[in-house]
Amino acid sequence: MKLPVLISVPHAGLEVPPEMKNICQLSEKEIIEDGDEGAADIYYPLEKEVKAFVKTDIARAIVDMNRTPEDFSKDGVIKTHTCHNIPIYQKPLAIETANDLIENYYQPYHRALSSKTRDVRVGLDCHTMAELGPSVAPDTGKKRPAACVSNADKTCDISLIQSFAEILQDMLHHEVAINNPFNGGYIIKKHSLEIPWLQIELSRAHFLTNVEKSVAFHKTIVKWIVINGI
């Protein structure tokens, strides 16, 4: 029986849409470094284990599914710079181009999430994070925990997030923090009006292989669902 969970993986994609390839100046390496490296290896194997799964092939540097559609800041929905402060385009995008990207890639992602919530009981928005805070982050240069579990202080009951963090820490044998260094992004805030949501950030530090992280994460979900009667 599949787990009653919706998994969202918004930042594993590496593709630049055809209409953007002539103006995006990032190298393949820079696109990888701006996204959630390892997320596909860790989370994609779980697609067959859960009732609902949503992912995108589009690179985070081009369209960020975890921002509000009105956020046109430097690190917004349609970015001007990567998380390492590298310019993505030689000149600012036309507003029409940005709006087309939102309509063609961003909105379908969120419609897919909303359409799948009726079949599940909880949502998990899944990411990977740098071992050390990058230059644009508030925790620049600081070592991060093995994982961060977030609920933006409101997207699920406190008992659910505490339980998940405790189980994940037991599975990883390394520190798991709650709402630090990430409090939770737009996806869990928007879609928690439909079902409870958690945001998961697994460190890209090499304390386990990605295969081992995937197995530990799967075991965490199974145990968490049983213990909490989800």
**Rounded to an integer, what distance in angstroms lies between the CA atom of residue 106 and that of residue 102?**
5
**pLDDT tens for each residue of 152-164:** 999 999 999 999 9
Give the CATH number, domain containing residue 224.
3.40.630.40
User: Looking at residue 167, what is its pLDDT?
Assistant: 99
**Rounded to an integer, what distance in angstroms lies between the CA atom of residue 17 and that of residue 219?**
35
Q: State which residues form the domain around 86.
A: 3-228
Domain count, the chain: 1
Residues of the chain with pLDDT under 70: none
User: Is pTM, for the whole model, over 0.85?
Assistant: yes
User: Looking at residue 216, what is its pLDDT?
Assistant: 99
**Rounded to an integer, what distance in angstroms lies between the CA atom of residue 152 and that of residue 183?**
5
User: Looking at residue 20, what is its pLDDT?
Assistant: 97
- CA dist 85 to 40, 43, 60, 109, 219, Å? 24, 27, 14, 26, 36
> In DSSP terms, which residues pair with 149 in a beta bridge?
178, 200
Work out the burial of residue 30: count CB atoms within 10 Å of its CB; fewer than 13 is exposed, 13-18 middle, 19 or more buried: middle
User: Looking at residue 138, what is its pLDDT?
Assistant: 80
**Rounded to an integer, what distance in angstroms lies between the CA atom of residue 230 and that of residue 228?**
5
**Rounded to an integer, what distance in angstroms lies between the CA atom of residue 81 and that of residue 88?**
5
**pLDDT tens for each residue of 62-76:** 999 999 999 999 999
**Rounded to an integer, what distance in angstroms lies between the CA atom of residue 68 and that of residue 165?**
27
Backbone torsions φ then ψ of 81, nearest 5 degrees: -140, 155
**Rounded to an integer, what distance in angstroms lies between the CA atom of residue 120 and that of residue 51?**
7
For 131, the 3-state DSSP assignment is coil
